[in-house]
Chain A
């Protein structure tokens, strides 16, 4: 199975900061990488698919990049409502795996 490793596991940033979360795959997954946001007590929400495509309705301050094994989710100008956990997911192999998550706290 393909393993996904996210870093950091948690971070704290101020409103307006630029936040970067990384995700590394244990083998090349091309661009088969999605990002989700999950707020406390809620279902996950799709943010980015195919490594860099913004899901409809998602604010443009969210962006994704990368290919192969290394990927990045960037939040430009962090907002209070971005308090959440963020998960990467590989869809290269038919046993989809998630990263362990990154918890983002807004100072």
Chain B
């Protein structure tokens, strides 16, 4: 069974840092690109970042570029999101989502999400 489990969320002050993790199981992690998607309380979905299977291509939304860094460790079946210089508007549930790739990009499996709250 494909599973993605996020962790690392919590309360952080503005300007602070946090590192999220996404642990994958049930599939060959190194074969798939993965995305981070976030959802502010009561709001819609916002794509945050993409990393391909070999970490050769990484994209970021303009809203996080220069502050967030996505990485992965295929040996540990894990994805990471290092978030620096956090702002109130970064408060959201953060999901990792597998990209089925194979021609048509689509997010076919999602984790349950981890809540990040940026507040003083």
Q: Is A67 an interface residue (CB 8 A)?
A: no
A49: chain B residues at CB < 8 Å are 100, 104, 106
A residues in contact with B110, CB < 8 Å: 43-45
Interface contact B47-A97, CB-CB below 8 Å: yes
Q: How many residues of chain B are within 8 Å of chain A by beta carbon?
A: 22
Establish whether residues A32 and B104, one from each chain, have CB atoms under 8 Å apart when the complex forms.
yes
Segment 52-74 of A: residues with Cβ below 8 Å from B: 53, 55
Query: What's the tally of chain A residues with a CB closer than 8 Å to chain B?
Result: 25
A96 & B112 in contact (Cβ 8 Å cutoff): no
What B residues does A99 contact at CB under 8 A? 44
Bound form: Cα–Cα A96–B38 in Å: 12
User: Chain A residues in contact with chain B, CB under 8 A?
Assistant: 1, 32, 34, 36, 38, 43-46, 49-50, 53, 55, 85, 87, 89, 91, 94-101
